[in-house]
Each structure stands twice: as C-alpha cells, then as structure tokens.
C-alpha cells in the first residue's frame, strides 16, 4: 500500500519517532493518516481529539494565543513540522495557504504502550494462572505485539464534521461511504423496523436524510466502536456481546447526563460511555486465541480485574486525550472523586445506572462520590438516577438509535 510506505518514511524522519524499530514504525503507521487539504482548510486545537498533526508539505499560517506565525515544509527536503506544539488554548488555529500534505498520528507512540505497562497492579489479587496470563499480556505490551483495536477514525471524523454548521449532507455522506462496513450497517439499520422507513432506502444519502444528522452521528459512532467487539469462539462472542451491551447502555446514559446537566459535549460524553469498557475487548481477543487460558480462566473475572489497565492502553494508543484516558482508568473505581466534574464522573454514574438496571452488582449511590461531584440527586435505595428517569422520552429515543431494549 503506497501511502503506508510513505507514512513510514515520514515517521522515520521525525525526531519524535526516528529511534523506533521498523516493526514499531509499521505499527504506528497503521494508526496514522496522510491527507491532502485544499487552500483555506482550517483546524482548531479543540478538534484534534488527542491527535498530533504535522505539516509534511505546503504553507500554513497559525494563530497561537493570538500571535500569528507562518510555517513551511517541503516534502523530501525537510522534516515534517508539528502544528499546535505550544500553548493550550482551544481556539488556537491553523489555516492552509496552499494545498498541504498533513500527517496525523496518535498522541501516543508504541513506546508509550510499553510505558503504560508499568501501571500499578499490586492491589489486584491474582491466582497462579491469572498471574501467568497477565505476565504474557505485559510481555506482548513491552514488545509492542499486543493486539489492540484500530482507532475508529470515521466515527471521530463524523463527530468533528457535524460540529460545523456549514457542513451539508453531501459532506457527511462522502465520509460515511469511505467505510464500507459502517455504510452497510447504516443502511441495514435504517431499513430495519427500528426506524420504520415507508420504503426501502438504498443510498447512504437517503439514510442520512431519513434519520437526521444527530442520529447519523450517534449511530455511526456506535457502529464504528461495535466492530471492536468481535470474536471467533462462541464463549468469547457471548462475552463480547455482554461487554458491548454494557458499553452501549453506558453511552446512552452518559449522553443524556451531559445534556441534562449542560456539562461538556454530549457527543464526547457518548464516546466516553462507549469506551469506558473498551479494555474488555483485547482481553477477550487474547483469551479467544489462547485455548489454554480459555479452559482455565474465567473471562468475566479477568475483565473485571484488568479492563481498566488494558483500557488505558487502548485509549492511549488511540490518542483520544487525557480526559478519555481518565474514563478508562477510573471505570471500575466507584470511590473516584474528581476535583471538578469530568467525563470520568459522568461515565461512572452512567455505569452505576447501567448496573442497577441490569441487576448487576453495584454499591449504594451514597458510596459513589461522582454523584456529588456532578451535583446529582443521590438516589435512595431501589431508586434510579432522577435526572435520567425524568427524561424518559429522550432516553427512549437514544435507546432506539442504539437498538437497545428498555
């Protein structure tokens, strides 16, 4: 694939990645993208979603903290130049003066995966088989061979695209069509009894018109992340389905909480809910390919013990940003108390609501500080989250988009 080899060559030029081995460069190249943009293309820092952006060829002008700067790069003659390297203002801006070649790569590198392997796990009680299991996973991490799911690029690009009020149906349609699996699933879902179309819809454009921008964005995010939760063996498939169902319910509740509390971006809250349980996927994949563990390890127990650790690796690998890493890190810590409202707190309350509804083990709400942090009503015994239950119509609509019962 020509573009992949071009990306590897550019990564080898960067001081950031020049010392990586060839396998590491190839692994990073799979998560990186090389694209041309037209003159007047623009991007704000807030739209990076944890990516690192480099100018490989062309001319741009930037505005960092109100100060203007011009940046040039010449493909083959100079090292790509990183954009957005200084300051932390969300409204920092880059504008293309000419056609430009941009390199996008995750904010983490393969080396970061090995560093993440040093996460504190002494508090986890493991028997001999589980210790061997964890040791093998860490060995794979340290050698950059742990199979992690691919970053859901189309879903993130759709979220970014639909934030622009000037974006039209044609732009959104073109992006969805770039991923055949998502496009096919979108058509299938739109033609299902879920949306009760009067006649069969045969084009992505008609599907977007039928269900609207907002539902398309949510559904595409759902479909993209759903692809991560697949396996071969029946036991593993059942575990994946259970993990995904929990994630989908958590996403619905997270979106509704963000909307109701007017905290943060509801679409990013939805993403937080979906990735809160993402660490389960690599664990199930690993067991799925190791018959010796499949016969001696309880999948549900290993997920409960290790999904936060593995989840941090995945989110770091995807480069989704510190706010999403925190979601994975604290996903199993009911006692987590943030200094201020954050996505991790929203996802925790959403997970509490999911566990309560599904009859899964969960502590009393009084023992979950996230309720206080978000200034929510503290549910009494046998009571749900008031702020969710009083929005029954919105909750029903969100579940409909995700194909969930309830």
Q: How confident is the model at residue 119 (pLDDT cuts 50, 70, 90)?
A: very low
- In this structure, is residue 287 part of a structural domain? yes
- In this structure, is residue 257 part of a structural domain? yes
What pLDDT, on the 0 to 100 scale, is given for residue 112? 46
Q: Which range, of 8-12, 67-71, 136-140, averages the lowest pLDDT?
A: 136-140
Q: Is the pLDDT of residue 320 over 80?
A: no
Q: How confident is the model at residue 54 (pLDDT cuts 50, 70, 90)?
A: very high
78, 134 Cβ separation under 8 angstroms: no
What pLDDT, on the 0 to 100 scale, is given for residue 101? 92
Q: How confident is the model at residue 245 (pLDDT cuts 50, 70, 90)?
A: confident
The stretch 273-293 carries a mean pLDDT of 81
- In this structure, is residue 313 part of a structural domain? yes
The DSSP letter of residue 214 is H
- In this structure, is residue 164 part of a structural domain? no
Q: What is the rounded CA–CA span in Å between residue 283 and residue 303? A: 7
- In this structure, is residue 186 part of a structural domain? no
- The tokens describing 226, both together, are 């759903």
Q: How confident is the model at residue 107 (pLDDT cuts 50, 70, 90)?
A: low
Q: What is the rounded CA–CA span in Å between residue 28 and residue 25? A: 5
- In this structure, is residue 370 part of a structural domain? yes
Range of the structural domain that residue 100 is part of: 2-107
Select from 91, 107, 123 the last residue of a domain: 107
CB neighbours of 96 closer than 8 A, spacing ≥ 6? 37, 38, 39, 40, 41, 42, 58, 59, 60
Instruction: Give the residue among 298, 330, 285 at the shortest CA–CA distance from 126.
Output: 298
Q: What is the rounded CA–CA span in Å between residue 201 and residue 401? A: 17
What pLDDT, on the 0 to 100 scale, is given for residue 136? 73
Q: Is the pLDDT of residue 193 over 80?
A: no
The pTM score is 0.66
The domain tally of the chain equals: 2
The DSSP letter of residue 102 is E
365, 379 Cβ separation under 8 angstroms: yes
Whether residues 238 and 101 fall in one domain? no
What pLDDT, on the 0 to 100 scale, is given for residue 50? 64
Q: What is the mean pLDDT of the chain?
A: 79
- In this structure, is residue 202 part of a structural domain? no
- The tokens describing 392, both together, are 């029954």
What pLDDT, on the 0 to 100 scale, is given for residue 213? 76
What pLDDT, on the 0 to 100 scale, is given for residue 196? 64
Whether residues 92 and 238 fall in one domain? no
The stretch 259-288 carries a mean pLDDT of 85
Instruction: Give the residue among 273, 240, 235 at the shortest CA–CA distance from 254.
Output: 273
| Displacement of CA 60 from its chain's centroid (Å) | 29
The stretch 309-318 carries a mean pLDDT of 78
Q: Is the dihedral of CA 393, 395, 400, 406 positive or negative?
A: negative
Q: How confident is the model at residue 120 (pLDDT cuts 50, 70, 90)?
A: very low
Select from 90, 107, 124 the last residue of a domain: 107
The stretch 330-339 carries a mean pLDDT of 89
259, 394 Cβ separation under 8 angstroms: yes
Whether residues 249 and 383 fall in one domain? yes
CATH number at residue 47: 2.60.120.10
Select from 82, 107, 132 the last residue of a domain: 107
Secondary-structure breakdown of the chain: helix, strand, coil percentages, each rounded to the nearest 5: 55, 10, 35
59, 72 Cβ separation under 8 angstroms: yes
């Amino acid at each position: 694939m020509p573009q992949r080899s071009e990306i590897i060559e550019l990564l080898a030029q960067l001081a950031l990645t020049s010392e990586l081995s060839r396998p590491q460069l190839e692994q990073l190249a799979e998560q990186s993208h090389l694209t041309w943009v037209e003159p007047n293309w623009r991007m704000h820092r807030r739209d990076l979603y944890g990516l690192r952006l480099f100018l490989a060829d062309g001319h741009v002008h930037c505005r960092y903290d109100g100060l203007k700067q011009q940046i040039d790069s010449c493909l083959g003659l100079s090292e790509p130049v990183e954009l957005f390297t200084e300051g932390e203002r969300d409204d920092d801006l880059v504008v293309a003066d000419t056609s430009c070649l941009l390199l996008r790569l995750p904010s983490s590198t393969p080396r970061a995966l090995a560093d993440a392997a040093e996460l504190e796990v002494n508090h986890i009680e493991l028997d001999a088989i589980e210790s061997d299991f964890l040791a093998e996973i860490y060995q794979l991490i340290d050698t950059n061979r742990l199979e992690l799911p691919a970053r859901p690029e189309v879903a993130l690009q759709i979220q970014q695209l639909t934030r622009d009020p000037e974006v039209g149906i044609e732009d959104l349609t073109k992006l969805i069509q770039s991923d055949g699996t998502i496009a096919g699933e979108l058509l299938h879902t739109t033609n299902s009894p879920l949306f009760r179309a009067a006649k069969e819809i045969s084009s992505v454009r008609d599907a977007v018109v039928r269900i609207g921008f907002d539902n398309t964005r949510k559904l595409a995010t759902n479909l993209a992340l759903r692809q991560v939760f697949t396996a071969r063996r029946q036991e593993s498939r059942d575990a994946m389905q259970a993990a995904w169902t929990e994630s989908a319910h958590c996403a619905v509740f997270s979106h509704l909480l963000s909307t109701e509390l007017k905290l943060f971006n509801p679409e990013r809250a939805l993403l937080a809910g979906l990735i809160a349980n993402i660490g389960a996927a690599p664990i199930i994949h690993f067991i799925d390919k190791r018959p010796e563990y499949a016969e001696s390890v309880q999948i549900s127990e290993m997920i409960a013990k290790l999904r936060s650790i593995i989840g941090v690796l995945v989110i770091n690998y995807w480069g989704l940003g510190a706010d999403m890493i925190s979601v994975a890190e604290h996903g199993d810590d009911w006692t987590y108390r943030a200094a201020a409202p954050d996505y991790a707190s929203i996802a925790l309350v959403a997970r509490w609501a999911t566990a309560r509804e599904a009859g899964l083990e969960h502590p009393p709400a009084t023992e979950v500080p996230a309720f206080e942090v978000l200034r929510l009503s503290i549910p009494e015994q046998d009571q749900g989250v008031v702020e969710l239950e009083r929005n029954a119509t919105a909750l029903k609509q969100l579940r409909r988009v995700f194909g969930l019962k309830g």
